[in-house]
């Protein structure tokens, strides 16, 4: 999806793309010739060659950790595609490094920028469902429909497979809504058509406050026209079912603070909930997530939706799932380590950053 | 162009508001007969232009129309290419060039162009774009296709990158080879007008969301209204009901009050809805 990131961020009024790096010389040739952007095949050379303030990293997942580290060490803000890091120890270390350097980070969990999923978040924060008892996170779609695949997505050790590609989305919504789970169990990583990687992910998730959850994912489901992500949440006061287009809420007793949700069913659609974006390629959420990150950089706002700290919790959940393929109970690691440290940053850092500012220039890798 | 064009989202499980509605429609229109019966209703109501994606199933529709030239003597098609999911699924599986190769009628062209690691020349890019257009147009052979559209996913992707030359290559090819006018679908209409201007495509046919809610009118409804008022182009309004969020009366009354709109494209699944839309357009656009 690197090219669509390039398209979206290149169209952003506050951003100048100063370089694109890719391993395909053909793509770079075409981009250079027809869009005039400076191109590189070596990310290090790109970062050295001109003033870079921020980078978008959209590579196979196994390269995320070293590339993100390189950028952070050079004082560059980072947007990284999901999943953030395959090893949550890297995720935590990089989150800490970014905070220490006062850099603005974000991971491409675009569902957090969809109006329907945000509305569910708002309702949960207002305790609309009372005490939540259970959450079901689902994702289905037509990715692997034939018994082979030639890209890195079909290679397990490169972060391919339905877990990192598909399950990451509902898993992230679950950690966004309810925080770090305590454990996973009963995991099934099933194969439908792939030989190396899983096409199905089923697991039971538990939180320390008593919430239980289930994840149900299948990317060999041809009945779906495209990826469908849905979260259903049950609580003592009702239920929420939310997907990218609509939110359906059933409340036993309406809450005065949520006057637009009476007793019984309320259905609201994306057409009503979604604000416009400045530039649209393939869904408001893809534009909104990059715009959010750019605006956070402008405000030097190092804490935000799907920043490295938040995303490392999702990485821990995915890591626990992949390491519980035998179905046994597995406790999430790093619970104590991923507590966000002091967020005041180094004194004088912003002053240094301001001196360093040279107008906005973004490099896209 | 007619003032009412018939769209095809409803036939292929596309609904921008509800996944349930989309699924129900996909089930209802599994058979070509079910689609043909609605198309017949549209045709008989005087809506004889079918603006459709190059979805595989459209080739069955095209066959039916070719087989019954008397029944469909006024039927014309506005192909909208490509059907993007076809490409994006292939791209996830085979990478960008693998996907292009799958859809080129002659995969050898790309191999030849890329052989020896030399860079792709301008003529290679033109060759790839025109071959892709030809492969999408094949299903419409022998049918009336006076306007050929580039789909919004591709238009807006190229627009963001600043790859404006591709618009020129597309426009030149569809007019030279198919005698058709080029059309462009976009979610970023004001910005696209600037880019088409930049490559000298004058008075272009541009189809974009135009609805009272401002749904998916990127850059803001005001900038759209300003473009309709002040820019020279042939506007087609789509998503005027915002996928059902705006009632038909209110939606059409509002669109009809705007300047410079040449056509409305709409989708409907029943004879009653087609006829009431035709009625409303007649009422609010009496001059047409």
Over residues A346-362, the mean pLDDT reads 39
Domain ranges (residues) in chain A? 2-109+279-364, 111-273
Task: Provide the pLDDT for residue B17.
Answer: 76
**Per residue in A36-46, pLDDT tens?**
999 999 999 99
Task: Provide the pLDDT for residue B109.
Answer: 64
As a whole number of angstroms, the distance between CA A213 and CA A137 comes to 8
| In contact, B84 and A281? CB cutoff 8 Å | no
The pair of three-digit structure tokens given for residue A43, joined into one six-digit string = 């990310």
Over residues B185-189, the mean pLDDT reads 98
Size of interface A-B (CB pairs under 8 A): 132
| In contact, B157 and B215? CB cutoff 8 Å | no
As a whole number of angstroms, the distance between CA B151 and CA B234 comes to 16
Task: Provide the pLDDT for residue A29.
Answer: 87
A269 alpha-carbon distance from chain centroid: 23
Instruction: Please give the residue of chain A at the shortest CA–CA distance from B83.
Output: A225
| Any B CB within 8 A of A245 CB | yes
Helix axes B221-230, B189-198, angle to 10 degrees: 40
Is A39 in a helix, a strand, or coil?
A: strand
DSSP, residue by residue, B98-149: HHHHHHSS-HHHHHHHHGGGPPPPHHHHHHHHHHHHHHHHGGGTTS--SEEE
Q: Domain spanning A2-109+279-364 has what CATH number?
A: 3.40.50.720
The Cβ of residue A143 has, within 10 Å, a number of other Cβ atoms equal to 25
Over residues A173-194, the mean pLDDT reads 96
As a whole number of angstroms, the distance between CA B38 and CA B67 comes to 18
In chain B, residues 28-67 whose CB comes closer than 8 Å to chain A: none
Please, which pLDDT band fits residue A340 given cuts at 50, 70 and 90?
low
Query: What strands, in cross-sheet order, belong to the sheet with A105-107?
Result: A39-40, A17-21, A362-364, A54-57, A77-80, A105-107
Task: Provide the pLDDT for residue A345.
Answer: 38
The Cβ of residue B135 has, within 10 Å, a number of other Cβ atoms equal to 16
- What is the C-alpha R_g of chain A? 21
Partner residue facing B218 (CB), from A149, A269, A277: A277
Is A250 in a helix, a strand, or coil?
A: strand
Best B112, B129, B151, B161 residue to mutate vs chain A (most A CBs within 10 Å):
B161
Q: Looking at CA atoms only, how far is residue B239 from chain A in angstroms?
A: 11
Task: Provide the pLDDT for residue A347.
Answer: 36
In chain B, what residues touch A25 (CB-CB under 8 Å)? 117, 119
Residue reference for tokens 């489901």: A221
Instruction: Please give the residue of chain B at the shortest CA–CA distance from A144.
Output: B93
| In contact, A121 and A177? CB cutoff 8 Å | yes
Identify the H or E element spanning B283. helix B271-284
In degrees, to the nearest 5, what angle opens at C-alpha A47 toward C-alphas A44 and A49? 105
Task: Provide the pLDDT for residue A346.
Answer: 39
Indicate the length of chain A as a whole number: 365
Q: Looking at CA atoms only, how far is residue B163 from chain A in angstroms?
A: 5
Over residues B188-195, the mean pLDDT reads 97
In chain B, what residues touch A269 (CB-CB under 8 Å)? 17-18, 243, 245
In chain B, what residues touch A281 (CB-CB under 8 Å)? 153, 156-157, 160, 187
Task: Provide the pLDDT for residue A125.
Answer: 96
Best B162, B239, B247 residue to mutate vs chain A (most A CBs within 10 Å):
B162
Task: Provide the pLDDT for residue A344.
Answer: 40
The yes-or-no verdict on residue A289 having pLDDT over 50 is: yes
In chain B, what residues touch A287 (CB-CB under 8 Å)? 218
Are the Cβ atoms of A151 and B97 closer than 8 angstroms? no
The pLDDT > 70 percentage for chain A reads 88
* Top-confidence residue, A311 or B18: A311
In chain A, what residues touch B117 (CB-CB under 8 Å)? 25
**Per residue in A83-96, pLDDT tens?**
999 999 999 999 99
CA distances from B221 to A230, B188, B189, B244 (A): 30, 11, 10, 18
| Any A CB within 8 A of B160 CB | yes
Please, which pLDDT band fits residue A350 given cuts at 50, 70 and 90?
very low
Over residues A53-80, the mean pLDDT reads 96
Best B30, B85, B187 residue to mutate vs chain A (most A CBs within 10 Å):
B187
Buried b (16+ CB within 10 A) or exposed e, B39-69: bebbbebebbbbbbbbbebbeebbebbeeee
| Mean pLDDT score of chain A | 89
The yes-or-no verdict on residue A271 having pLDDT over 90 is: no
**Per residue in B30-42, pLDDT tens?**
999 999 999 999 9
Helix axes A88-101, A308-322, angle to 10 degrees: 170
Identify the H or E element spanning B157. helix B152-161
Burial of A258 (0-12, 13-18, 19+ CB in 10 A): middle
Domain A111-273 falls in which CATH fold?
Answer: Dihydrodipicolinate Reductase; domain 2 (3.30.360)
In chain A, what residues touch B53 (CB-CB under 8 Å)? none
Please, which pLDDT band fits residue A342 given cuts at 50, 70 and 90?
very low
Partner residue facing B218 (CB), from A3, A6, A276: A276
Over residues A331-359, the mean pLDDT reads 47
| Any B CB within 8 A of A17 CB | no
As a whole number of angstroms, the distance between CA B210 and CA B254 comes to 10
Please, which pLDDT band fits residue A3 given cuts at 50, 70 and 90?
confident
Task: Provide the pLDDT for residue A27.
Answer: 84
Helix axes B189-198, B152-161, angle to 10 degrees: 60
As a whole number of angstroms, the distance between CA A147 and CA A125 comes to 43
Residue reference for tokens 């969990």: A109
Residue reference for tokens 């030399």: B118
Instruction: Please give the residue of chain A at the shortest CA–CA distance from B162.
Output: A35
**Total-model pTM:** 0.89
| Any A CB within 8 A of B13 CB | yes
Q: Looking at CA atoms only, how far is residue A58 from chain B in angstroms?
A: 14
The yes-or-no verdict on residue B24 having pLDDT over 60 is: yes
Q: Looking at CA atoms only, how far is residue A234 from chain B in angstroms?
A: 20
Task: Provide the pLDDT for residue A354.
Answer: 38
The yes-or-no verdict on residue A362 having pLDDT over 60 is: no
Secondary structure of B51-112 in the HEC alphabet?
A: EEECCCCHHHHHHHHHHCCCCCCCCEEEEEECCHHHHHHHHHHHHHHHHHHHHCCCHHHHHH
| Any B CB within 8 A of A147 CB | no
**Per residue in B139-167, pLDDT tens?**
999 999 999 999 999 999 999 999 999 99
**Per residue in B196-248, pLDDT tens?**
999 999 999 999 999 999 999 999 999 999 999 999 999 999 999 988 889 99
Are the Cβ atoms of A276 and B13 closer than 8 angstroms? no
Task: Provide the pLDDT for residue B19.
Answer: 82
Are the Cβ atoms of A8 and B158 closer than 8 angstroms? no
DSSP type of residue A325: T
Are the Cβ atoms of A35 and B94 closer than 8 angstroms? no
Question: Would the CATH topology of A2-109+279-364 be identical to that of A111-273?
Answer: no
The pLDDT > 70 percentage for chain B reads 89
Best A30, A219, A223, A274 residue to mutate vs chain B (most B CBs within 10 Å):
A30
Domain ranges (residues) in chain B? 4-84+144-284
| Any A CB within 8 A of B191 CB | yes
| Any A CB within 8 A of B95 CB | yes
Over residues A345-349, the mean pLDDT reads 37
Bridging pattern class, strands B49-53 and A54-57: unpaired
**Per residue in A217-257, pLDDT tens?**
999 999 988 899 999 999 999 999 999 999 999 999 998 88
As a whole number of angstroms, the distance between CA B133 and CA B11 comes to 23
| In contact, A134 and A204? CB cutoff 8 Å | no
- Return the minimum-mean-pLDDT range out of A67-76, A199-208, B131-140, B195-204: B131-140
| Any A CB within 8 A of B215 CB | yes
As a whole number of angstroms, the distance between CA A160 and CA A179 comes to 25
The yes-or-no verdict on residue A130 having pLDDT over 80 is: yes
Task: Provide the pLDDT for residue B81.
Answer: 94
| Mean pLDDT score of chain B | 90
Please, which pLDDT band fits residue A2 given cuts at 50, 70 and 90?
confident
The Cβ of residue B95 has, within 10 Å, a number of other Cβ atoms equal to 17
| Any A CB within 8 A of B92 CB | yes
Task: Provide the pLDDT for residue B202.
Answer: 93
| In contact, A316 and A88? CB cutoff 8 Å | yes
Q: Quick one: residue B203, left, alpha or beta (phi over 0 = left, psi -120 to 50 = alpha)?
A: left
Helix axes B152-161, A25-35, angle to 10 degrees: 80
The correct answer on CATH 3.20.20.100 for the domain covering B4-84+144-284 is: yes
* Top-confidence residue, A205 or A154: A205
The yes-or-no verdict on residue A337 having pLDDT over 60 is: no
Indicate the length of chain B as a whole number: 288
């Amino acid at each position: 999806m690197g090219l669509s990131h390039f398209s979206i961020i290149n169209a952003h009024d506050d951003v100048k793309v100063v370089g694109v790096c890719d391993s395909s010389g053909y793509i770079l040739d075409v981009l250079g010739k027809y869009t005039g952007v400076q191109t590189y095949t070596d990310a290090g050379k790109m970062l050295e060659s001109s003033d870079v303030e921020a980078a978008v990293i959209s590579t196979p997942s196994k390269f995320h950790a070293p590339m993100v580290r390189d950028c952070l060490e050079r004082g560059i803000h980072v947007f990284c595609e999901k999943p953030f890091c395959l090893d949550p120890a890297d995720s935590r270390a990089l989150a800490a490094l970014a905070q220490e350097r006062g850099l603005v980070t974000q991971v491409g969990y675009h569902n957090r920028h969809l109006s329907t999923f945000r509305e569910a978040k708002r309702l949960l924060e207002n305790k609309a469902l009372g005490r939540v008892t259970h959450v079901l996170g689902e994702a289905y779609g037509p990715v692997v429909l034939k018994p082979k695949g030639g890209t890195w997505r079909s290679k397990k050790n490169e972060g391919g497979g339905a877990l990192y590609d598909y399950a990451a989305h509902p898993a992230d919504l679950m950690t966004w809504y309810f925080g770090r789970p305590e454990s996973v169990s009963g995991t099934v990583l099933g194969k439908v058509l792939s030989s190396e990687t899983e096409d199905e992910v089923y697991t039971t998730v538990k939180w320390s406050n008593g919430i239980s959850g289930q994840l149900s994912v299948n990317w060999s489901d041809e009945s779906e026209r495209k990826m469908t992500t849905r979260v259903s949440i049950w609580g003592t006061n009702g239920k929420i079912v939310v997907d990218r287009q609509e939110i359906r809420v059933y409340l036993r007793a309406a809450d005065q603070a949520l006057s637009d949700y009476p007793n019984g069913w309320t259905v609201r659609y994306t057409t009503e909930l979604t604000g416009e974006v400045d530039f649209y390629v393939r869904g408001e959420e893809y534009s909104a997530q990059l715009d959010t990150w750019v605006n956070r950089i402008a405000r030097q706002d190092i804490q935000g939706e799907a920043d490295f700290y938040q995303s490392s919790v999702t990485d821990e959940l995915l890591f626990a799932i992949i390491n519980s393929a035998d179905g046994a109970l597995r406790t999430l690691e790093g619970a104590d380590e991923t507590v966000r440290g002091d967020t005041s940053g180094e004194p004088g850092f912003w002053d240094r950053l301001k001196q360093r500012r040279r107008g906005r220039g973004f490099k896209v890798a | 162009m007619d003032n009412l064009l018939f769209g095809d989202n409803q036939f292929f499980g596309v609904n921008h508001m509800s996944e349930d509605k989309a699924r129900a429609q996909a089930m209802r229109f599994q058979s070509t007969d079910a689609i043909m019966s609605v198309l017949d209703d549209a045709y008989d109501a005087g809506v004889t232009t079918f603006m459709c994606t190059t979805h595989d199933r459209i080739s069955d529709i095209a066959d039916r129309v070719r087989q019954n030239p008397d029944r469909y003597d006024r039927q014309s098609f506005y192909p909208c290419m490509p059907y993007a999911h076809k490409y994006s699924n292939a791209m996830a599986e085979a990478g960008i060039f693998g996907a292009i190769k799958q859809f080129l009628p002659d995969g050898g062209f790309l191999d030849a162009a890329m052989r020896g690691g030399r860079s792709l020349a301008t003529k290679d890019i033109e060759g790839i774009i025109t071959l892709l257009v030809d492969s999408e147009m094949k299903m419409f052979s022998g049918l009336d296709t006076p306007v050929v559209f580039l789909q919004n996913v591709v238009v807006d992707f190229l627009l963001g990158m600043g790859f404006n030359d591709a618009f020129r290559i597309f426009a030149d090819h569809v007019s030279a080879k198919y005698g058709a006018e080029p059309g462009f679908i976009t979610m970023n209409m004001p910005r696209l007008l600037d880019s088409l201007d930049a490559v000298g495509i004058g008075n272009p046919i541009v189809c974009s969301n135009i609805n009272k809610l401002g749904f998916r009118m990127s850059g803001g409804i005001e900038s759209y209204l300003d473009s309709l008022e002040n820019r020279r182009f042939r506007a087609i309004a789509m998503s005027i009901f915002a996928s059902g969020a705006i009632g038909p009366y209110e939606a059409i009354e509002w669109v009809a009050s705007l300047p410079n709109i040449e056509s409305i494209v709409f989708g409907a699944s029943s004879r009653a809805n087609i006829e009431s839309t035709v009625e409303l357009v007649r009422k609010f656009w009496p001059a047409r």
